[in-house]
Structures are given as structure tokens and as C-alpha cells.
Amino acid sequence: MDCFEVTGGTPLRGRVRITGAKNSALKLMAAALLAPGRTTLDEVPDILDVEIMSEVLRRLGCEVTFERYPLEPGGSPSGGGRVLIDVPEQPSSETDYDLVRRMRASISVLGPLVARLGTAKVALPGGDAIGSRGLDMHIAGLERLGATVVNEHGFLIATAPKLVGTSIWLDFPSVGATENLVMAAVLAQGTTIVDNAAREPEIVDLCRMLVAMGARIEGAGTSTITVEGVRDLRPVEYSTVPDRIVAGTWAIGAVMTRGDLVIERAVPEHLTVALEKLVSAGATVEPLADGVRVAMADRPRGVDVVTLPFPGFPTDLQPMAVALAAVSTGTALITENVFEGRFMFVNELVRLGADVRIDGHHAVVRGRERLSSAPVLATDIRAGAGLVLAGLLTDGVTEVQDVRHVDRGYPDFVEQLRGVGVQIERTERPG
């Protein structure tokens, strides 16, 4: 078991560079299946989930190569690289359970495989333990497009001699369902309208890549996406949108530690609500030509947060919001409206001395000026990052265990933390 040993008491100061979004890059890799030939993706984060998705594609018959970028000037890590995906004329239609169970995003190959091959056999996915995230909307949408979908022996098996455009209403603006259905619809016959679609920047990024491949899509970034099917698509070169969740993590960390951080490549428009909350907490937020500067001089004020689909406060930043409230003045109410399991990590934060009470999908957090170091367990990607930030406000060395989760979402996390002044070591413990 790998662990982070974080020494408290250091503000985040300096510059960090944000690479492409994990939640976009994985779906762009899946979209490459829609066109035979070489697709090149730039600004792909060098993280474990990209390795897993690369292997998913290899077992579907693709050749996948990751070319890491050289170090930035001054020797700081870039955090990303370029992915080359060579897609065969006839890829396999079946994914392996041992890979798909490790990462939920692997379900995103379902739509492209059905659209391109007329059949797909995809293992039911795993991923973070943050609550129920059923595939009902994926299945119902594909069935509306004319596919037959069955669940057998742990696999979703979808068949469709030819997908046909239709109108689809999503009960919830699910990012994953929107992505899968749009990727399926681009090769369907006729026009597909997806209503109550997700509006996240990662959805817009996927649609832009698909349009560059030759798809006809309108309405990306709105609640109604219209897709006019085409006969075929072509491979492209495309650059991934910057990761707003990683950018938000650094921004909240700067406020928690009373630091001063320039977050290069961050897009303020993708974090409007989160940055407004930091301003309410007392921070200075300054948009730059290619990023944003976040600075904090005094102890932050407690602010209430409600997670919602984009453009609301991101659920992926909720653990950091709880950690921020735990060291702020006053009392804050954090409300989770997206994933009911997001509060699982709170017990670990309490081990650090935080005063948090859970009531259903609400957390009441009474701030304390300092926390106390203790061993804690990362329960998912964002919880792990939130615990590391909390460790920066403790009176000693905090050991964050099982950091393989953090590796799935944050490239060069230790190196980047060191680059902005943090004392942190990666160690191994018996599993």
C-alpha cells in the first residue's frame, strides 16, 4: 500500500500547471473507436486511469502509445503527454472484466462500439465507491436508438444492425449517459435529440472532437443536443480541455493554507461557482491570460456549498469544500445532491480533528483553526486529495493511506506539491 506523508504548516505558493481533464481524456480515447486510423490526443494526463483505458483499447485491437511531455523549464513536471491511438478497420467488440471493473469510465466504449460494429459486449464497470450510479439511462437511450440490450453474466450485451435517430429524454443530466448516447448517435441514421443533456465542459470537449471527426452536432453545452447522423468519421488530432477539478483542488488548497498560487491553464469560466465561493471565503481570485491566481491572507470564512450538475458546484470538489470548511471560521453547511456516497470520507477527516456532523445529504461543519495529524485512508480519488489538503493544516505529519486512488486523477501530485512548498513523501506500507 502506497501512502503520502504530509507535513502540516506550509502554505501553497508558486505556480502549478494543469494538464487535460481526466473526465474528458478518457471519453476522447473511447471516441477514437469511431474512426479507423490514427487519432492523436494532446494534453492527456499521465494518470493510472489513462493507463487502464489504454489497455482497454489495446484489448479491443488498437495500438496505443503514450508519449510523455518533457519537463517544464526549471525541471518541474508537465503532468501530461500525447496519446496515439491506431484503430483497426475491425476492432473487437468485447471488453475484459478485469479492466472494466477498475474504472467506471470504461463503459464509454459501449456507444462507439454499437455505432461502429452493431454489437458490443462490455463488462459492468467498477470505479469509486461514492454511491449508486446505475446504467439505466445508458440502456434506455440505446434502446430508443434501436439497440437490444441485455445484462448477462456481468456483461451488458448490445446489438443493433443499424441505429436510428430518435428523441431521448434523460431523467437526470447524466454526464456518462449523455456521452455514450451522443457517440452512438453520430453514426445513426437520421437525427437524434438528447433532452436534459449534461452541460459540463467535458461534454462540450467531446462534441468538439466529434465535430472535428466529421460529426454533425449542435447544442453542446446546453440542455438539448441535436445530432445528425453521418455515414462515417475520420481520425483527428485534438487537444484535451484543461482539468477544472484539478484546478479547483489547487485553488481550494491555496485558500485553506493562506497561500498564493498561480494555476496555469485553468479556465475560470469552468469554475465560476467554486471561485465565487472562494471569494466569499475571503480569497482574492484574479483571472489571468492563461490561468487564474488565487491568494488568501487570513483564515477563510465558512461558506455554504450545494453540489449540482454543471454549471453548479462540482460534486468532485465536495471533499475539498468540506476540508475547507473544517479549517474556516464559523459553521458551514455542505449539501450533496449528486452522489450519496460522497460523505464516506468524513470519518477520515474527523480522525484529523475536524468537527463534522452528517445528516442525510447534508454535512454541518464547524471550523477549527488547526487539525491534528493522524493516519487516514483515501476512499476515492477526490477524498484522497481532500485529505492531503487537510493534512497541510495539521500540527504534524499526516499519513494518507491507499493513495492509488489519487493516482487515478492527479498527475505528478507529489512533485507538484513539492514545487509549491509542501513537505510530502511517498512511502510504502504492508498492504
Task: Please choose, from the candidates 155, 80, 158, the residue with its C-alpha nearest in 3D space to the C-alpha of residue 113.
Answer: 158
Task: Please choose, from the candidates 421, 414, 402, 31, the residue with its C-alpha nearest in 3D space to the C-alpha of residue 202.
Answer: 31
3-state secondary structure the chain: CEEEEEECCCCCEEEEECCECHHHHHHHHHHHHHCCEEEEEEEEECCHHHHHHHHHHHHCCCEEEEEECCCCCCCCCCCEEEEEEEECCCCCCECCHHHHCCCHHHHHHHHHHHHHHCEEEEECCCCCCCCCCCCHHHHHHHHHCCCEEEEECCEEEEECCCCECCEEECCCCCHHHHHHHHHHHCCCECEEEEECCCCCHHHHHHHHHHHHCCCEEECCCCCEEEEECCCCCCCCEEECCECHHHHHHHHHHHHHCCCEEEEECCCHHHHHHHHHHHHHCCCEEEEECCEEEEECCCCCECCCEEECCCCCECHHHHHHHHHHHHCCECEEEEECCCCCCHHHHHHHHHHCCCEEEEECCEEEEECCCCECCCCEECCCHHHHHHHHHHHCCECCEEEEECCHHHHCCCCCHHHHHHHCCCEEEEEECCC
Residue with cell 494543469: 18
Distance CA 197, CA 341 (A): 23
Catalytic residue among 128, 316, 407, 412: 128
Question: Is there a catalytic annotation at residue 232?
Answer: no
Parallel/antiparallel/unpaired status of strands 2-7 and 423-428: antiparallel
Distance CA 308, CA 357 (A): 21
Answer yes or no: are the C-beta atoms of 171 and 190 closer than 8 Å. Answer: no
- Distances in Å between the Cα of 305 and the Cα atoms of 73, 277, 320 are 38, 8, 11
Task: Please choose, from the candidates 344, 176, 314, the residue with its C-alpha nearest in 3D space to the C-alpha of residue 247.
Answer: 314
Catalytic residues: 128
